[in-house]
Amino acid sequence: MLNSVCSLSIMTQIGLLILVVLGVIKAYLILTTGVCTSTKKLTGKTVIITGANTGIGKETALDLAKRGARVILACRDPKKAAIAKEDIIRESRNKNVFIRQLDLTSLKSVRKFAADILKSELRLDVLINNAGCATIEKKLTEDGLEVQMQSNHFGHFLLTNLLLGLMMKTAGTKLEVEKSVRIINVSSTAHRWIKKLNLDDLTFERDPSDNKILNIYGITKLCNVLFSKELAKKLEPFGKNITVNALHPGVVQTEFGRFLPYETLVKIASHVSSIFSKSAKEGAQTSIHLAVADEVANVTGEYFSDCKIAKTSKLAKDLELAKKLWEVSETFVKLKPEERHF
Ligand SMILES: NC(=O)c1ccc[n+]([C@@H]2O[C@H](COP(=O)([O-])OP(=O)(O)OC[C@H]3O[C@@H](n4cnc5c(N)ncnc54)[C@H](OP(=O)(O)O)[C@@H]3O)[C@@H](O)[C@H]2O)c1
């Protein structure tokens, strides 16, 4: 009897200890989570957010709509997009929210989307390349590209290039903060997993080690950082007020695990880890900060996490690699001479 009381009390003590440790970790995470404190309004500004029907993209769109922006939701599924649009209009009371269909796994769709935007929009102040997916299923798209590479990197690469003329037209000089145009690439700390990038095999058909779980996802997120760095460098001589930055949103509870196998396991793991992860609203803070805060108006080519500049991996700092990735990407997306700005 005495024994069982003692063991119960040890169990209780262990339980309490675990709770305290978890509480301390949670408190630390809450205190260190970056929050966008800018109250800046975006009236008169136009914003495009890819993958804005759910998760981080939807929360970012909602916040920017509340600030008065004209918000374009670039989504592949018109039904999901329509529900998101309704939610955003209801919560923000801003009717200037529009849907344009965009499937990043189709170069044709990206071209059509960009052509529609160039026809309908007079300006573009903020482009948030947010959409992304992670899967271990190795599939090629209709363009013969690997599906994650196309949705996470090539699609956004082409989109940004096609919209760059409009953004250059919108941008003022570096002194005109009010006219700043911002390109924001949602990357991930997963870019750190990658220790080598073989630019000769971006469809991952030759090297079997690329097949490892989430390796390709990590590569796509490394490409997001390298793309940001190279674009920032290419824009420098223009003296235009266009900034390009990449970011890690944190570990965020969204629908992100849905394309991974063992969906139920992923869901359970995500619930268990919910104590350590951010809500979608918290996960959107760094994107929002980069879109609105005055203090980053002239910051470009950087990588952010929790609304602060953060360190990237060594590979992500390789400017020669960034330059070569740009050249290879131009070929993969078949960028035409008249679409090139550099
Ligand atoms: N959640 C995290 O912990 C985490 C951590 C680091 C980085 N990130 C990055 O954060 C970004 C947003 O992710 P999330 O967590 O908000 O995930 P999510 O809830 O799964 O949302 C992803 C969005 O991207 C869209 N999308 C995916 N593939 C697309 C395509 N080919 N064409 C057009 N839209 C496409 C999805 O559209 P559908 O709804 O139609 O599928 C959805 O709107 C991603 O770039 C991701 O890599 C997330």
Q: Does residue 286 share a domain with residue 172?
A: yes
CATH code, domain with 56: 3.40.50.720
Lowest mean pLDDT among 22-26, 67-71, 166-170, 332-336: 22-26
**What number of other Cβ atoms are within 10 A of residue 6's Cβ?**
10
Q: Does residue 83 share a domain with residue 5?
A: no
Token look-up 């993958």 returns: 51
Q: Does residue 4 share a domain with residue 88?
A: no
Nearest to 270 by CA among 255, 250, 249: 255
Q: Is 217 among the residues known to form the active site? A: yes
Q: What's the DSSP call for residue 72?
A: E
User: From CA 210, how far away is CA 216, in angstroms rounded?
Assistant: 6
How many helices (H) does the chain have, and how many strands (E)?
11, 8
State mean pLDDT over 312-321: 98
Cα dihedral 271→276→281→282 (10° resolution): 180
Q: Does residue 146 share a domain with residue 129?
A: yes
Q: Which long-range contacts (CB under 8 A, 24 or more apart) does 190-193 make?
A: 190/214, 190/217, 190/218, 190/221, 191/218, 191/221, 191/222, 191/224, 191/225, 191/312, 191/313, 191/315, 191/316, 192/218, 192/312, 192/313, 193/218
User: From CA 43, how far away is CA 65, in angstroms rounded?
Assistant: 9
**pLDDT grade for 336, boundaries at 50, 70 and 90:** very high
Atom of ligand 1 at shortest distance to CA of 152? 45
Which range of residues forms the domain containing residue 20? 1-32
Lowest mean pLDDT among 3-17, 220-234, 259-273: 259-273
User: From CA 2, how far away is CA 9, in angstroms rounded?
Assistant: 11
State mean pLDDT over 40-54: 97
pLDDT over 60 at 5, yes or no: no
Q: Does residue 276 share a domain with residue 233?
A: yes
Entry pTM: 0.92
**How far is ligand 1, taken at its centre, from the CA of residue 256, in Å?**
6
Ligand 1, atom 36: nearest CA belongs to which residue? Answer: 51
Lowest mean pLDDT among 53-62, 134-143, 318-327: 134-143
User: From CA 297, how far away is CA 119, in angstroms rounded?
Assistant: 27
**How far is ligand 1, taken at its centre, from the CA of residue 56, in Å?**
8
| DSSP-assigned beta bridge partners for residue 303 | 246
pLDDT over 80 at 238, yes or no: yes
pLDDT over 90 at 119, yes or no: yes
pLDDT score, position 276:
78
Ligand 1, atom 8: nearest CA belongs to which residue? Answer: 188
Q: Does residue 198 share a domain with residue 91?
A: yes
Ligand 1 pocket test, candidate residues 105, 133, 214, 253, most atoms within 8 A of CB: 133
Tally of domains in the chain: 2
Mention every residue, 6+ apart, whose C-beta is less than 8 A from residue 94: 65, 66, 68, 69, 71, 88
Tens of pLDDT, residue by residue over 206-218, are 766 655 668 999 9
**How far is ligand 1, taken at its centre, from the CA of residue 51, in Å?**
6
State mean pLDDT over 21-47: 89
Q: Does residue 279 share a domain with residue 141?
A: yes
pLDDT score, position 136:
79
**How far is ligand 1, taken at its centre, from the CA of residue 132, in Å?**
4
Q: Report the amino acid identity of residue 6.
A: C
Q: Does residue 59 share a domain with residue 80?
A: yes
- Ligand 1, CB cutoff 6 Å, lining residues: 50-51, 53-57, 75-77, 80, 102-105, 130-133, 151, 186, 188, 248-249, 251-252, 254-256
Q: Which two structure tokens, joined as six digits, stand for 178?
A: 């009010």
User: From CA 94, how far away is CA 326, in angstroms rounded?
Assistant: 37
Extract the runs of DSSP E, i.e. beta strands, from 13-170: 46-50, 70-75, 97-101, 126-129
Three-state secondary structure along 111-148? HHHHHHHHHHCCCCCEEEECCCCCCCCCCECCCCCEHH
Q: Does residue 16 share a domain with residue 64?
A: no
Q: Does residue 26 share a domain with residue 143?
A: no
Cα dihedral 52→58→60→63 (10° resolution): 130
**pLDDT grade for 25, boundaries at 50, 70 and 90:** confident
pLDDT score, position 110:
98
Atom of ligand 1 at shortest distance to CA of 252? 3
| Top-confidence range, 193-202, 223-232, 238-247, 254-263 | 223-232
Q: Does residue 296 share a domain with residue 197?
A: yes
Ligand 1 pocket test, candidate residues 100, 109, 158, 256, most atoms within 8 A of CB: 256
**pLDDT grade for 3, boundaries at 50, 70 and 90:** low
Average pLDDT, the chain: 91
Q: Does residue 16 share a domain with residue 107?
A: no
Q: Could you say which of 28, 217, 262, 303 is catalytic?
A: 217
State mean pLDDT over 135-143: 88
Lowest mean pLDDT among 145-154, 252-261, 278-287, 293-302: 252-261
User: For residues 54 and 80, is the Cβ–Cβ distance under 8 A?
Assistant: yes
State mean pLDDT over 128-156: 94
